[in-house]
Structure formats: C-alpha cells, structure tokens
A and B are shown apart, each in its own frame.
Chain A
Amino acid sequence: GAVVSQHPSRVICKSGTSVKIECRSLDFQATTMFWYRQFPKQSLMLMATSNEGSKATYEQGVEKDKFLINHASLTLSTLTVTSAHPEDSSFYICSASLGDLFYEQYFGPGTRLTVT
C-alpha cells in the first residue's frame, strides 16, 4: 500500500512554455502533499506544502506565481512550472501523507524536467 505516482516521469520542453506534473496517491487519501526539487548533487529541497482544498504554502525563495500548485482532491496534486527556463531544469518529486504535522511521507518516483 501507500503508493504515489507521478506523471510524466520525464519531460522536455522549450523555454517559455508551461509544464504540468501530476502527483497521485493511488491507494490512500492524502491530506497533505509536498513538492520537492533536487538539483544535481544536492539534497531534496522542499518547495511547497499543500493541503487539499486550500492554498499551498511555499518555502522561502520559491515563486508561487511560477510554480503553481493545485491540490484539488485527496488523491491528486499538480505542479505547473509556468514560462519554464533552462534554470528550472531539475528533478521534481512529490510526496503525500495523511497529515501535515509529522506523518510519514510516501514519495513518488520523481519527474525529470529538462528545459531547452
């Protein structure tokens, strides 16, 4: 149990376009979903925390207008990278949990975004 999927697993897009990444909890209802980003040879960095039905909470330095997060249901959260630039190329990982305070997180396999 506790499976989280992400789609797509890899995406290449041109600079200036927008890309949507989906995160789904397949066998449980996730009250909270988290979005992380990992640059090469660096650790996962939390970008934002989202609770179903409410606005996402963004970490310092993460532009909310650039990284749009929608958590419309208890099993789906989407991250849209708007007007992507090459420096947005990274590995984006979502996780889902039963709550936002000190619950175990279940991670998706990640999405590799390359912006050309």
Chain B
Amino acid sequence: SQQGEEDPQALSIQEGENATMNCSYKTSINNLQWYRKNSGRGLVHLILIRSNEREKHSGRLRVTLDTSKKSSSLLITASRAADTASYFCATDSFANAGGTSYGKLTFGQGTILTVHP
C-alpha cells in the first residue's frame, strides 16, 4: 500500500451523522496533514498534527495520530451537506536530494465523503 493510504475509499452518510476517515502510512513522519478537495477547487488545508501530538481539534474536526501504529483518523462531527468533498491525508517527512533537505508531502488517494441532506 502507498504512504498515506485512506480508508474507506468512499463514505456516504446522512446530515448530522459523524464521519470517520482513517489514514495509514509506512515511514517516519514529522507531521501529518489532512486536506479537503471540493469539485472544481484546489486542495484546502484542514488541520496539521505533529508527530509528538496525539489528538487535535479544529471546530467540528478531530484528528488523532498513533505513531506506533502509523495511523491517523479524521472525525467530522455533526456533518453537513457542505462537507461533501474528497478528503486526503498527507504525511510530511524529510527528503533529501543533492544535499538539500526539504519537507515532502506524500498524499493518499483520498476518501470521497458524501453527506446527504
């Protein structure tokens, strides 16, 4: 499987329900980020959780990180129809090329979330 692999690939829920998406990765990371993409628009950064953090909240979003299991979850509480989008996790880790170190984001394939009104 790829670095930053999301599960499930698609999720369909009713408005008001909670949506949980999971992400697994393979290598060590500095941080893990979640992004959302609406149709016709670019990726939007949602939340960043550092490798030394276990949980982070932002509004209706709750992200957990378990570095021992190399996994993360994104929980959207009280979902709304406007939350319908694709959600991607991305791991941020060190990369090195030609003696230059830089942070490299590696994306998963995403989870398509559909929230029905």
Contact = CB atoms under 8 A, between A and B. Distances in A.
Contacts, number: 57
Interface of B: 2, 4, 30-31, 33, 35, 40-45, 48, 88, 92, 97-98, 100-110
A57 B95 CA distance: 10
A95 B40 CA distance: 16
A100 B2 contact: no
Which interface residue of A58, A103, A104 has the most chain B CB atoms within 10 A? A104
Interface residues on A, range: 20 to 34
A49 to B, nearest CB: 5
A60 to B, nearest CB: 8
5 contacts: A49-B102, A49-B104, A100-B102, A105-B45, A110-B42
B45 A104 contact: yes
Given A44-B107, A101-B102, A110-B42, A57 B2 contact: no
Interface of A: 4, 32, 34, 36, 41-46, 49, 57-59, 93, 95, 100-110
Contacts of B44: 107
Contacts of B48: 104
Contacts of A110: 42
Given A95-B43, A102-B31, A106-B45, A43 B108 contact: yes
Given A57-B100, A100-B102, A104-B48, A43 B2 contact: yes
Nearest to A49: B102
Nearest to B37: A107
Contacts of A107: 35, 42-45
A46 B104 contact: yes
B107 A43 contact: yes
Nearest to A99: B103
Contacts of A36: 107
B42 A57 contact: no
A19 to B, nearest CB: 20
Contacts of B43: 44, 93, 95, 107
B105 A105 contact: yes
